[in-house]
Structure 1
Amino acid sequence: MEIYKLPVAGLGVDTVILANGEFPSHIVPLTILNNNNYLVCCDGAINSLIKTGLKPDAIVGDCDSLTEENARLFANIVHCIPEQETNDQTKAVNFCVEQGRTQITILGATGEREDHTIANVSLLCEYLPYADVQIISNYGIFTAIDKTATFQSCEGQQVSLFSIDRCTVTTHNLKYPVVRRVFTNWWQASLNEAAGDEFTIETDGRMLVYRAFLNEK
Structure 2
Amino acid sequence: MTESPGPDHSAAPGITLVGGGPADTSALKAALSRAPRVVAADGGADACLAHGLRPAAVVGDMDSLSPAARSAFRDVLVPVAEQNSTDFAKALRHADADFVLAVGFLGGRIDHALAVFSHLAERGSGAPAVVLLSAEDCVCLAPRRLALDLAPGCRVSLWPLGRARLRSTGLRWPLDGLMLEPAGRVGTSNRATGPVTLRCDGPCLLIVPLDALDALASGLGIGAGFA
| Superposed CA offset, 1:84-128 (max 9, x none) | 1110111111100xx3x2311111110111111222233222233
Mark the CA change 1:199 to 1:103 in structure 2 (over 3 Å): closer, same or farther.
Answer: same
Residue type at the aligned position of 2:25: S
Contact 1:13 1:37 in 2 (8 A): no
Aligned-pair distance for 1:149?
1.3
Could you tell which deviates more after superposition, 106-115 or 151-160? 151-160
Paired position in structure 2 for 1:40: 39
Deviates further, 78-87 or 101-110? 101-110
Which whole-Å CA distance do the structure 2 matches of 1:64 and 1:90 have between them? 15
Does 1:194 pair with 2:192?
Answer: yes
**Structure 1 runs not aligned, ≥5 long:** 1-11
2:117 maps to 1:118: no
Mapped partners of 1:135, 1:212: distance in 2: 11
Does 1:147 find its partner at 2:149? no
- Asked if the contact 1:173–1:199 (Cα under 8 Å) also holds between the matched residues in 2, the reply is yes
Counterpart CA distance in 1 for 2:90 and 2:59 is 7
Distance in 2, Cα, partners of 1:149 & 1:156: 18
Residues 213 and 53 of structure 1: is their aligned pair in 2 closer, same or farther, counting only changes over 3 Å? Answer: closer
SS in 1 for 2:20: coil
1: distance between equivalents of 2:207 and 2:67? 37
What SS does the corresponding residue of 1:111 show, helix, strand or coil? coil
What is the Cα-based RMSD across aligned positions, in Å?
2.1
> Which amino acid in the other structure matches residue 69 of structure 1?
A
Kept in 2, the 8 Å contact 1:15–1:37? The answer is: yes
Runs of 5+ consecutive residues of structure 2 not aligned to the other structure: 1-11, 213-227
CA pair 103-142 structure 1, distance change in 2 beyond 3 A: same
Mapping for residues 24-35 of structure 1, pairs under 5 Å = 24-26=24-26, 28-33=27-32
- Confirm or deny that 1:109 pairs with 2:122: no
Aligned residue-pair number = 199
Taking structure 2 as the reference length, what is the TM-score of the superposition?
A: 0.79
Matched-pair identity in %:
23
